Amino acid sequence: GDSVTQMEGPVTLSEEAFLTINCTYTATGYPSLFWYVQYPGEGLQLLLKATKADDKGSNKGFEATYRKETTSFHLEKGSVQVSDSAVYFCALSDLGGSARQLTFGSGTQLTVLP
Amino acid sequence: ETGVTQSPTHLIKTRGQQVTLRCSSQSGHNTVSWYQQALGQGPQFIFQYYREEENGRGNFPPRFSGLQFPNYSSELNVNALELDDSALYLCASSCDRGNTEAFFGQGTRLTVV
């Protein structure tokens, strides 16, 4: 079945540091790939997505490129802010049966220190 | 445009009891999916409802059941609660059986004691 593996956290960075969170996936078809963010006490918010190989998703300074050859979708940001502190989830969506469900990784806790 | 709302926000139940969680989908969305998020884990797909019928199910036992109403709001019912059912339950609404972006509610935190 489909699965997503994320780099384990927690990750602690100083403000303005470079961020990379690794994500690899296993899927039988041609999935769409997503990064979601969860702030404390809140639900999930879509951060960015990519629907086909070599697509780059970007939002709020975050970027991720869909790499089919390495089955990866690593999240990057050039300069993190304290407000980026949250849990980040990599996810894929593959058309399994008739329901387009999301399969999530286990999440990476990011803390940015001032 | 209203977002996805879930109720209640927090709930404490005793092992063996039954619980009903509610979700109002975003305006214009006809698909609701439910996820269980255990502490420190990623969300796990429970099932999806599309136009009032179950449209896909994850690896959850039959004591997890649901409904979708004509206005596309939804309920998640869990019978015979177990301690391991303690989790954050997330509802996500979308269009066309999930082929468009899913918008998540803030979740219901269920604690089983």
Beta bridge partners of B110: B11, B87
The token pair that represents A108 in the structure block: 């990476």
- Please say whether the beta carbons of B102 and B29 come within 8 A: no
- Please say whether the beta carbons of A18 and A79 come within 8 A: yes
Rounded CA-CA distance B25/B104 in Å is: 9
pLDDT at A99 (0 to 100): 60
Chain B: give the shortest CA distance to residue A51, in Å.
11
pLDDT at A8 (0 to 100): 82
pLDDT value at A95 more than 70: no
pLDDT at A98 (0 to 100): 53
**Read out DSSP for A19-70?**
EEE-EEEE-SS--EEEEEEE-TT--EEEEEEE-STT-EEEETTEEEE-BTTT
What would the mean pLDDT of A107-114 be, rounded to a whole number?
Answer: 96
pLDDT value at A28 more than 90: no
Note whether B58 contacts A101, CB cutoff 8 Å.
yes
Task: Please say whether the dihedral angle defined by the alpha carbons of residues B44, B50, B56 and B60, taken in this order, is positive or negative.
Answer: positive
Which residues 6+ apart lie within 8 Å of A27 measured at CB?
A2, A71, A92, A94
Mean pLDDT of chain A: 92
- Cα distances from A13 to residues A75, A84, A109, B31, B97, in angstroms, run 15, 10, 11, 38, 39
Q: B37: nearest CA in chain A?
A: A106
Residues of B within 8 A of A98 (CB-CB) are 50, 55-56, 97
Given CB atoms, is B43 within the 8 Å cutoff of chain A? yes
Residues of A within 8 A of B107 (CB-CB) are 43
Residues of B within 8 A of A42 (CB-CB) are 106
- Cα distances from B85 to residues A53, A89, B17, B39, in angstroms, run 37, 21, 11, 11
What would the mean pLDDT of A55-76 be, rounded to a whole number?
Answer: 96
pLDDT at A89 (0 to 100): 96
Residues of A within 8 A of B4 (CB-CB) are 43
pLDDT value at B42 more than 70: yes
pLDDT value at B98 more than 80: no
pLDDT value at B75 more than 90: yes
Rounded CA-CA distance A109/A111 in Å is: 7
